């Protein structure tokens, strides 16, 4: 019985990179960069043009997401751990986008 285990497809390899040695650019790394770019663009778009009164639908959606995140963190950890709200939000958003990117079928 012959078993073959393959990892992520290697797109490019750079030899003798100072401090790192051999660096391989894999399919997984490229998709992770793509997710980072998408999340950054979404945050910039949601954070632009915010107002105190007369808010847009975009701002209402952003505030709803943030309020839900605050309720989630405070409900599980308490208000003394509010400093972890950005961390929990970043982990959640990255996890959601990382799982949903496979539906697009890039590779």
**Given this model, what pLDDT does residue 107 score?**
64
Confidence band (pLDDT; 50, 70, 90) for 7? confident
How buried is 76 (Cβ within 10 angstroms: 0-12 exposed, 13-18 middle, 19+ buried)?
Answer: exposed
Q: Which residues contact 79 (CB under 8 A, 6 or more apart)?
A: none
Q: Please state, in angstroms and rounded to a whole number, the distance separating the CA atoms of residues 85 and 77.
A: 10
pLDDT, tens digit, 9 for 90 and up, residues 61-81: 999 999 999 999 999 999 999
**Given this model, what pLDDT does residue 3 score?**
87
Domain locations in the chain as residue ranges: 10-103
Query: Which of 24, 32, 53, 27 is closest to 95 using CA atoms?
Result: 32
**Given this model, what pLDDT does residue 104 score?**
84
pLDDT, tens digit, 9 for 90 and up, residues 32-61: 999 999 999 999 999 898 899 999 999 999
């Amino acid at each position: 019985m012959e078993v073959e285990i393959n990892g992520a497809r290697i797109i490019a390899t750079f030899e003798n990179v100072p401090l790192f040695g051999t660096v391989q650019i894999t399919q997984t790394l490229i998709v992770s960069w793509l997710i980072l770019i998408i999340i950054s663009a979404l945050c910039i778009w949601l954070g632009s043009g915010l107002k105190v009164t007369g808010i847009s639908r975009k701002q209402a959606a952003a505030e709803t997401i943030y309020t839900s995140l605050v309720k989630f963190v405070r409900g599980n950890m308490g208000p003394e751990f509010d400093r972890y709200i950005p961390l929990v939000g970043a982990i959640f958003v990255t996890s959601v986008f990382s799982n949903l990117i496979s539906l697009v079928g890039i590779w």
